[in-house]
Structure 1
């Protein structure tokens, strides 16, 4: 899913809804993200569809992110079908909601992300192997890295073993993703500690 398409449900909603109604919707979305409002409270917005709720959450989180750039978001909103003027008005309404509770939103999203998995890494091992024949790989004589992870579910007593086989290109992509995740965690940690 391209980022510009995420905001597509907002085009029709913002076209049919008053500026005050849009502002109230984004206020409620921010409260849902912070955990101070139940999702079913959004039903006052004409039975908010899940795609619209997802788009609203994505926009609020985008404005709350450390990499927020208003001109990029305006471009994405216009690509999703909003007029330039409406995109700017919507973004201004979201900023009014987000900026006063920026730290709270970032902290809530960091907690939500950390709750996505209840398992934790107990141990890992790796091996470098050369593929001589395989039913799953098209290239033979290709080096692969086997990563063996031992994970334990919260409250569990036994470990679950998972094996991941990566080619050199896959390993590079995984390391880049891990590096990006590390930077994201560090930025949340830095912004959280500077606000305290």
Structure 2
């Protein structure tokens, strides 16, 4: 089994990466393979609502979004990491997740549905819980079971060295890795013993409140 850890920070080896690395080590100790995917520090445009992904089965803008979605199909679980910008995730990662999850909704087979996921955030001081709330909503939309830790998935520090001094934050990351591994093993056991995935209704209903 494999977990893809997404580093949404513009800094490749910064605080967010440090936290993700602790999660990855805990997963590895449980026999789960891991890969860290850095979204880079080049501009990532937001979704323009053209809905062409529904026709083409991919985003019309050929940047890292389609590359990542194709890669994601081979993984069993996902952990998205972000630094906190003004009490939310950073702008590049928000654009990335908007386009990844919206374009994936049109694909068959779905690259994310029913695969466990989690978010982690890194901050110098505050804004972490609202950023986590923002990120978790993507997983709800894609029917992805959310892996929990023993507290909210956050670390604090202004540098990787400071993050490594956040003993409680590091413990939270270790718990998250082990809990994610447990979920993946449960899912594998269910697959091996004939537990079917939840039934999907043929038509997705969308109700508008203004007629």
Larger Rg: 1
Q: Which has the higher contact order (CA 8 A, sep 6+)?
A: 2
Q: Do Structure 1 and Structure 2 share a fold, with TM-score over 0.5?
A: no
TM-score if structure 2 supplies the norm length?
0.27
More helix by share: 1
TM-score if structure 1 supplies the norm length?
0.28
